[in-house]
Structure 1
Amino acid sequence: MSMVSIRNVTGKGQIVLRAALLAACAAVIASCSSTDESIDLQSYVDTIEPADALYNQGLANLNSGRLKEAAKKFEAVDRQHPYSEFARKANVMAAFTSYKLGNYDQAVQAARRFVNLYPTDEDAPYAQYIIGLSYFNQMPEVTRDQRDTRLAIQNFNELLERYPGSIYEDDAQAKIRAARDQLAGKEMQVGRYYLERREYPGAINRFRAVVEEYSNTRHVEEALARLAETYYAMGLVSEAQTAAAVLGHNFPDSQWYADSYALLQTGGLEPRENTGSWISRVGSKIIGG
């Protein structure tokens, strides 16, 4: 790898480089004894590589699959040439490289820094997309805390709001749907837990959240069936009938509807919608309606 001195950098790049070097050298000099140590400024300057060379080396390493080496080069661009155009580009590539390495916290940090510094840059949508991807890839099993799932949704929504029409829009929307389905699954998991223990109010709250907040997920069928089951167990017959009726209207061929219908028949009842019920009011929002 070739090294160049400050004399090889011209124009605006030389001015920026000199300023950065003077600041760095001043810090070094301040920490050293003025009588016992000497600073070889030329030797220090000769270790600086041109920004474009470092950036291109980073790209070459990235294309060759040497991700750790690529990350070091991109970091070196920002460290040695913090005010250069290549530093701006290197910030995005550093975020991407960290993402590919699975260093999601570093990827989020680098990408967020870029978005904050350059919110209108052409690469800002990509940086925001990397933030969403980093959280999305850390979504846990449905039985665990869903903090990263919510953060994925939040950051993908921010991408859609701040950069409408970007090339990442379709994928962001698909991942939002997947993440919302995950949150609905979490609500169902907790609701079943309460139902098994006959803690009916807690179960209803969870199943109701799925119907009201996640009506376009695959869990809404079971949520309506579980509401019918829970209300029936509590003796709230009208609500049980309404839940079954809304389920049957939206998913007439569903096994969950068949089970709800059979449950009501054990008490000589059948699905019947009470239009004054909250279940009836949200029924029009359900994807099967």
Structure 2
Amino acid sequence: MKLLKLTSLLSLALLFGCADKEVAVPDVPPSQLYADAQQALQGGSWSTAIERLEALDSRYPFGAYTEQVQLDLIYAYYKNDDLALGLATIERFSRLNPTHPRSDWVLYMRGLTHMAQDRNFLHDVLNVNRDDRDPEPVRAAFSDFDRLLERYPNSAYAKDAQFRMVALKNRLANYDLATADFYLRREAWVAAINRSQELQKTYPNTEAARKSLEIQKEAYQQLGMDEQVKRTEELMALNPQ
């Protein structure tokens, strides 16, 4: 009986919660809804802007504001850290508007949204090293920005995308370095060497590539491969700190 009452209370709470959300978005003309959404966007009230824009999108899916509403939602979702919704909206918009004049911006926002997926607020606050975290969102962001530069080399967002790719490359290189170091600590000497060499080949002009030479040298020493140790030392001399 208590379980039944609890279930009923939860159902009522959800029902009233949904009702409150509907009440929060008044039944006004689309022009007024859009004006309210723009005011919220300009004031940084992302949740309010999203409510208005989502109401516009659902109530008037083929209205005069359809495309701009989608673009505004992409930005508002990103700013509000609703990253999964942002990516879903980007995919939808790109599918329906493959030749839109702002396609470069949409691709740029896709990169930013993927980058944000690699961010963790608590890690930032606590200054936790994140190099060993799965870098899949970073790879996706790098691919997005690379595609932007290839398709829209004269885009207003190309320069910033190129700048961000440098940071992303360093993030990916640091992940490989952390992996090589993990193998070294586990005494998996061959795996440490292979990952170090892969890093040096893929990300040659990074600090991580230079540091990987130290891991490579130690692994060769543990294997008693003196000639390879000497070659690695020569590479280290060519790439000083």
Query: Shorter-normalised TM-score: what interval?
Result: 0.7 to 0.9
Q: For residue 67 of structure 1, what is the aligned residue in structure 2?
A: 46
1:49 to 23, 29, 36: 29
1:221 to 207, 210, 218: 210
Q: 1:163 to 1:112 in 2, by over 3 A?
A: farther
TM-score by length of 1: 0.66
Any idea what the Cα deviations from partners look like across 1:204-229, whole Å, max 9, x if unmatched? 11111110111122211111222222
1:143 to 132, 135, 138: 132
Q: For residue 154 of structure 1, what is the aligned residue in structure 2?
A: 143
Q: For residue 97 of structure 2, what is the aligned residue in structure 1?
A: 118
Which stretches of structure 1, 4 residues or more, deviate above 6 A after TM superposition? none
Any idea what the Cα deviations from partners look like across 1:226-279, whole Å, max 9, x if unmatched? 22222232122222222221221233xx2xxxxxxxxxxxxxxxxxxxxxxxxx
In structure 2, stretches of 5+ residues that fail to align are: 1-26, 120-129
Q: 1:63 to 1:48 in 2, by over 3 A?
A: closer
State the 1:60 CA deviation. 0.9
- What is the one-letter code of the residue matched to 2:52? K
TM-score by length of 2: 0.78
Q: For residue 185 of structure 1, what is the aligned residue in structure 2?
A: 174
- Give the secondary-structure state (helix, strand or coil) at the position aligned to 1:137: helix
2:58 to 79, 87, 110: 79
Does the alignment pair 1:109 with 2:52? no
- Give the secondary-structure state (helix, strand or coil) at the position aligned to 2:201: helix
Bigger share in helix: 2
Structure 2 Cα separation of the partners of residues 69 and 242 of structure 1: 61
Any idea what the Cα deviations from partners look like across 1:143-178, whole Å, max 9, x if unmatched? 222221212112222222232221111221222221
1:100 to 79, 88, 92: 79
Structure 2 Cα separation of the partners of residues 185 and 156 of structure 1: 19
Q: What is the aligned residue count? A: 205
Q: 1:202 to 1:59 in 2, by over 3 A?
A: same
Q: For residue 191 of structure 2, what is the aligned residue in structure 1?
A: 202
Percentage identity across paired residues of the two chains: 27
Structure 2 Cα separation of the partners of residues 226 and 128 of structure 1: 38
1:230 to 194, 215, 219: 219
Structure 1 Cα separation of the partners of residues 154 and 63 of structure 2: 29
State the 1:48 CA deviation. 6.1
- Give the secondary-structure state (helix, strand or coil) at the position aligned to 1:216: coil
Does the alignment pair 1:134 with 2:123? no
Does the alignment pair 1:89 with 2:68? yes
Q: For residue 261 of structure 1, what is the aligned residue in structure 2?
A: none
- What is the one-letter code of the residue matched to 1:115? S
- What is the one-letter code of the residue matched to 2:98? P
- What is the one-letter code of the residue matched to 2:230? Q
- Give the secondary-structure state (helix, strand or coil) at the position aligned to 2:112: helix
- What is the one-letter code of the residue matched to 1:87? T
